[in-house]
Amino acid sequence: MNTLSSTRFNFTGQTHAYHGKVRDMYTLEHGRMVAVVSDRISAFDVILPQGIPFKGEVLNRIASHFLDAVSDIVPTWKLATPHPSVTIGHTCEPIRLEMVIRGYLTGHAWRTYKSGERILCGVELPEGMREHDRFPEPIITPATKAEAGHDEDISREDILKRGIVSPERYAELERVTRALFARGTEMAAEQGLILVDTKYEFGLRNGELMLIDEIHTPDSSRYFIAEGYEERQAAGEAQPQLSKEFVREWLMAHDFMGKEGQTVPDLPDEFVRVVSGRYIELFERVTGMPFEGHQTDDPAGDVERAVESWIAENPA
């Protein structure tokens, strides 16, 4: 099927366009923005050659679901979702941080720990932990938000030293991050899942903090299956994950980690189907709703028509 792998729109009232790893952001007049979530997939901060069917729709619909579910904790940028792969919202001044929060020693945190390091983003990690063990309490390990290339781990102290945000704003970011993670953890548990780790991005609109970008999607989050977690840990067995970590693992098995001189491998058709299925499974597991994908021979045209219709119906 056709995937939405690239977009080059010129919407009514459009003033700017930015093409990210996965999302294409179109700024409109009157403080509004269109996020088109493509079917591109990235890992190790590199866009992979093949698009993944339904991936953009899955990410956008999960994000929309959770943006609505946390709007009582912090204002969100979302105004509408006129198409399964599109969110329209308020334009915000982005804060150049990813607020990463981890409940378990998994992924990047585990790789750091396994190397012998016991400090991650200024946070001291307990001794004697095993992969996928739960932290005594969730830890916040921020990263700088790069315009291009790799994001970088950063400590609270360095954030304040560089003046990225004020001490008061950073305290607010940490408080809201913990509240969002607690809500996400509760909602995951209702679906038989464990929210392992995730990241949140924020912006400012008229000086007010707003939650922007995606939230609790498989691109920004990692989930375990709750049933049998303790037994698997006790036995030293692997924890089944609902995330794109398995894509990173496949790439590492094919000698790619995004390092200089490495060549991105092509994804075989069968693996693309597996990845698509994993994203759909996560949508159903996380939301508790069946997934019925939007199929079309003209994905870009469908998006353009839906957005233009919304703009016409919602003059500023």
Q: What is the DSSP string of 29-44?
A: TTTEEEEEE-S--EET
Q: Are residues 306 and 183 in the same domain?
A: no
Q: Does residue 9 form part of some domain?
A: no
Question: Residues 67-87: what's their mean pLDDT?
Answer: 98
Q: Does residue 34 form part of some domain?
A: yes
Q: Does residue 265 form part of some domain?
A: no
Q: Are residues 103 and 88 in the same domain?
A: no
The whole-number pLDDT of residue 310 equals 98
Q: Are residues 58 and 40 in the same domain?
A: yes
Cβ–Cβ under 8 Å, residues 88 and 14: no
Cross-strand partners of 83:
86
Question: Residues 206-219: what's their mean pLDDT?
Answer: 93
The whole-number pLDDT of residue 149 equals 55
As a whole number, the mean pLDDT across the chain is: 94
Q: Are residues 160 and 234 in the same domain?
A: yes
pTM: 0.89
Structure tokens at 253: 């098995």
pLDDT band at 243 (very low <50, low <70, confident <90, very high): confident
Total number of domains in the chain: 2
Cα of first residue to Cα of last residue in the chain, in angstroms, is 36
Q: Are residues 124 and 78 in the same domain?
A: no
Parent domain of 213: 94-246
6-12 contact pairs (CB < 8 A, 24+): 6/38, 6/40, 7/36, 7/38, 7/300, 7/303, 9/34, 9/36, 9/300, 9/303, 9/304, 9/307, 11/304, 11/307, 11/308, 11/311, 12/308, 12/311, 12/312
Q: Are residues 204 and 139 in the same domain?
A: yes
* Boundary of a domain, candidates 231, 246, 261: 246
Q: Is the model's pLDDT at 74 over the cut of 60?
A: yes
The whole-number pLDDT of residue 5 equals 93
CATH (domain of 153): 3.30.470.20
The whole-number pLDDT of residue 45 equals 85
Question: Residues 310-316: what's their mean pLDDT?
Answer: 93
Q: What is the DSSP letter of 237?
A: P
The whole-number pLDDT of residue 109 equals 97
Q: Are residues 80 and 103 in the same domain?
A: no
Q: Are residues 98 and 84 in the same domain?
A: no
The whole-number pLDDT of residue 281 equals 87
pLDDT band at 312 (very low <50, low <70, confident <90, very high): very high
Instruction: Give the largest CA-CA distance in the chain.
Output: 59
Q: Does residue 2 form part of some domain?
A: no
Q: Does residue 253 form part of some domain?
A: no
Coil, strand or helix at 235:
helix
The whole-number pLDDT of residue 145 equals 76
Question: Residues 172-198: what's their mean pLDDT?
Answer: 97
Q: Are residues 99 and 223 in the same domain?
A: yes
The CB-side HSE value for 150 (13 A sphere, CA atoms) comes to 8
CATH (domain of 293): 3.30.200.20
For 94-152, what is each residue's pLDDT tens digit? 999 999 999 999 999 999 999 999 999 999 999 999 999 999 999 999 999 766 556 79
